[in-house]
Chain A
Amino acid sequence: MKRRKLKKVSVFTIVNNCFLVLAALLCIIPLIHILAVSFSSSSAAAAGKVVFWPVEFSLNSYAYVAKRAAFWHSMLISVERIALGGFVNLVLTILCAYPLSKEKKEFRFRTFYAWAFFITMLFNGGLIPWYIVIKQMGLLDKIWALVLPGAVPVFSVILLLNFFREIPKELNEAAFIDGAGHWTTLWRVIVPVSTPALATITLFSLVGHWNNWFDGMILMNKAENYPLQSYIQTIVVQRSYSMLSRQEISELATISDRTLRASQIFLGTLPIVLVYPFLQKYFVKGIVLGGVKG
């Protein structure tokens, strides 16, 4: 018995596992490095002595970040953003996916609408028109500027509509025979059996909202309104040291040191890292189920 089991390990499995372990390491190593830097003394970090283990262990950077009101304020905005954004994304995705998952005989213009959505995945208006539209809507500097422009994530809609199609028609028919309309069917029958797919698209939208820094930077007119990732982006940018203005020279002494940056980056990734394991069990299932049928 035992021998047989051993024999089953093929070359492919070994190579494949090695490859996957390497890929996993590539993802986790930078994070470990950042963590080690954040727990090191700033002089050791400045000299580049820290690799994967803190040198001259210190909690100074965390003590400093704890006092940095701007950091926590940005985090609050990010939390607000994912709460609003996640909810709006979820509701609108469901509402879009349901009719689109119907057959043509039930929903005559299905193809037209499907294409209308699909085209937005291929083409977009470009940066300036995007900015002007949001400005003219009066959204600049408001939290809704980060939520509404991406309110319908088309990729998630397609994922979900494919998932809806996999659901046995008998469920629908039974509901209709019992007198339920489309609304009741959707919320009482379809949504409850789609949790894996819903968890997946929620995860997508949460991660997307959490990580997006560019729109925050462009659409917010005051630094106080930056979400966390826009805030972090401004502390990690590279500087050029050729030709400094007087303003920049006076700023040099305050170049935030690496430990401080590392601790803020780490704290910034922590919430999403914590959410992942809880949603992951649905994740694989959701993607596979939704993706089988084109």
Chain B
Amino acid sequence: MRFNYLKRAVSLAVVLSLTASIVAACGSQNNTSDSTASSSQSSTSSVASKDPFGKYSPAIDISFVRGIDDDLAANILPKTPGETLEDNRWTKLYQEELGINVKYDWTVKGNEQSDAYTQKINVTLASGELPDVVLVNPSQLKQLVDSDMVEDMTQYYNDYASEDFKKIMTEEGTGNIDSVMFDGKMMAIPEPVSTNESAQYLWIRNDWLKKLNLQVPKTMDDVLKISEAFTTKDPDGNGKNDTIGLPITKDLYSGCMGTEGFFAGYHAYPNMWIEDSSGKIAWGSTLPETKVALQKLADMYKNGQLDKEFGVKDGGKVAETVAAGKVGMDYGAQWNPMYPLISNFNNDNNADWTAYPIVSNDDKKVMVPLKFNQTRIFAVKKGYEHPEALVKLFNEHVEKNWGKTADFNKYYMPVENGGVGVWKFSPVCPAPVFKNLEAFVAIDDARKSNDFSKLKDEPKIIQGNIDAYAKGDKSQWGWEKIYGKDGAFRNMVEYKKNDQLLKEKFVGAPTVTMAEKKTTLEKMEKEVFIKIIMGAAPISDFDKFVSDWNKLGGADMTKEVNEWYDSVKSK
């Protein structure tokens, strides 16, 4: 018996030690491969001095992670036979001209704002297994900086960024650089945000206006009247009381079916940091103007002009209401004809949507709020041998699309591949922030002189889409609505000319309190506002919200933001 136990004990010990040695072997194997990789890298670092386009010889490797969005998966890849994510015209270009081999540690299906990407990036960050360059959002960048995992890019950006790239970065203000600044150091390279793209317009169905003998709105009172008429006067002519005045979602602030343009009509700018009357920075949602606009929305809700159930409907759900032809007004960005308005047009070819400028409730000029939101930031892993390689990729992308040696038709939207956006093959995609507006102006000039022959690059492709629509290709409807004769961008030209753009004042990296409290406060704000609009809470609850907001961290946030603002202003 005893012997038997001994035998068992020995066999158990053998099994345990075997397992341990296997695990150890796995671990050590990894270590050795890591060290060989890094030593081979260090031996290759022979580069000409600080040339923004200098080529590495021999070539170096740079690893990224990325999401593959639907455009890439269902549109671009099928139409570019022979090219893959790892081997395409952009990776070849980077290889041949810069000596940089782009690799991907992993990819996920879905764009970089998707849940899939966020989950995957979170486990990657937590396990500390970073790729050479990681695409993150501001709060993730803050985590990385706080735990000292990324390179300081200040010097690399100053030394290596090309003139064109630097110009794009600061064209719309200092926001792009400020958003990655920590203690005066630039800790990452962001893709320049184009805030003017998020400017809101008032999209209205012209055919409904005509039918009910209404004029294009000049003031907020007109908007309210149109909303009432669209609700009560049966604009779709089906004899049923089934239309609503204004579609809004449970998110309240949204690029389509949003409310920002409505609030702005009452000089209220919720959900962003603006200067209040005293010159201090304040959170727009807490200012008294917001209360006025909320009261108007609550009145509209009471009169049946808003969807009774908007408080539980997300954008996708409200888009169904639009597609079904139940609405004739929509506050949204320039891209709204691409989604969701085209679904309405597909169901009813009479739906004639046009973008009008947002209007004011008095004779004070209406300002168009432009929130700053940086979502695509590239951080370099601490210890990576060639941090400047990332800057060079940015330089090259700008150069080949918009620079002197640009080959737009090869690297941006090649006509022979059906005009798909092959620029997405590149891991970094900086673009001039006003390029769409400039495209509209170019097309508009050509229209005026009736000479389209001079158009090239993007404007030419866009004009091609507009022509296709004129010839009966209904799927190109959106292009006509955005860049056509009465296109949305005409209003942007006006906005700019009249100096109506109101940029968010705080564009820095998230502050300490923001990292902790911002999400909670935003959630509370939406809950309270939706309750007020739905009449579940009296308008006086707004004042309680403001004091709660301040108590729960808002006051600290405001203080930090103002300190940041003073430090930037003094520079």
Contact = CB atoms under 8 A, between A and B. Distances in A.
B537 to A, nearest CB: 23
B324 A222 contact: no
B106 A234 contact: no
A254 B73 CA distance: 10
Interface in A20-55: 43, 46-49
Interface of A: 43, 46-49, 70, 127-128, 131-132, 135-138, 141, 217-218, 221-223, 226, 230-231, 233-234, 237-256
B280 to A, nearest CB: 25
Interface in B480-538: none
Nearest to A214: B119
Interface stretch (B171-179, B250-258, B395-403): B250-258
Task: Point out which of A137, A141, A237, A246 has the most chain B C-beta atoms below 10 A from its C-beta.
Answer: A246
A252 B335 contact: yes
Contact of B197 (A48, A240, A246, A251): A246
A249 to B, nearest CB: 5
A223 B343 contact: no
Nearest to B126: A128
Contacts of B253: 242
A250 B71 contact: yes
A218 B255 contact: no
B113 A245 contact: yes
Contacts of A128: 123, 126-127
Contacts of B375: 243, 245
A261 B161 CA distance: 43
Contacts of A247: 69, 71, 111-112, 376, 424, 429
A48 B71 contact: no
Contact of A48 (B123, B315, B320, B421): B320
B237 interface: no
Contact of B73 (A48, A70, A246): A70
A244 B339 CA distance: 12
A89 B194 CA distance: 52
Contact of A248 (B75, B113, B320, B325): B113
A233 B109 CA distance: 10
A230 B429 CA distance: 27
17 contacts: A43-B343, A48-B321, A135-B129, A217-B119, A221-B107, A223-B107, A231-B109, A234-B109, A234-B114, A243-B198, A244-B198, A246-B194, A249-B338, A250-B421, A253-B339, A254-B75, A255-B70
A137 B114 CA distance: 28
A237 B343 contact: no
A228 B346 CA distance: 31
A218 B119 contact: yes
A97 B347 CA distance: 60
A256 B255 contact: no
Given A240-B251, A241-B254, 13 more contacts: A47-B324, A48-B323, A217-B120, A221-B107, A226-B109, A238-B315, A241-B257, A243-B198, A246-B197, A247-B376, A249-B197, A253-B338, A254-B71
Contacts of B258: 241-242
Contact of B343 (A47, A135, A138, A233): A47
B110 A234 contact: yes
B346 A43 contact: yes
Interface string B303-319: 00000000000111001
B323 A46 contact: yes
Nearest to B326: A47
A221 B112 contact: no
B145 interface: no
Given A223-B108, A234-B110, A241 B197 contact: no
Nearest to B324: A47
A113 B313 CA distance: 51
A152 to B, nearest CB: 16
Contacts of A230: 109
A222 B315 contact: no
Contacts of A223: 68, 73, 107-109
Contacts of B541: none
A240 B251 CA distance: 8
A137 B127 contact: no
A58 B426 CA distance: 38
B431 interface: yes
Contacts of A238: 314-316
B427 to A, nearest CB: 12
B373 interface: yes
B540 interface: no
A217 B108 contact: yes
A56 to B, nearest CB: 11
A14 B114 CA distance: 48
B37 interface: no
Task: Point out which of A43, A135, A249 has the most chain B C-beta atoms below 10 A from its C-beta.
Answer: A249
Task: Point out which of A135, A141, A241 has the most chain B C-beta atoms below 10 A from its C-beta.
Answer: A241
B478 interface: yes
A245 B325 CA distance: 28
Contacts of A249: 197, 335, 338
Contacts of B314: 238, 240
A241 B251 contact: yes
B6 interface: no
Contacts of B478: 253
Contact of B120 (A49, A218, A255, A256): A218
Contacts of A136: 23, 26-27, 30
A202 B315 CA distance: 41
B434 to A, nearest CB: 12
B1 to A, nearest CB: 11
B97 interface: no
Contacts of A70: 73
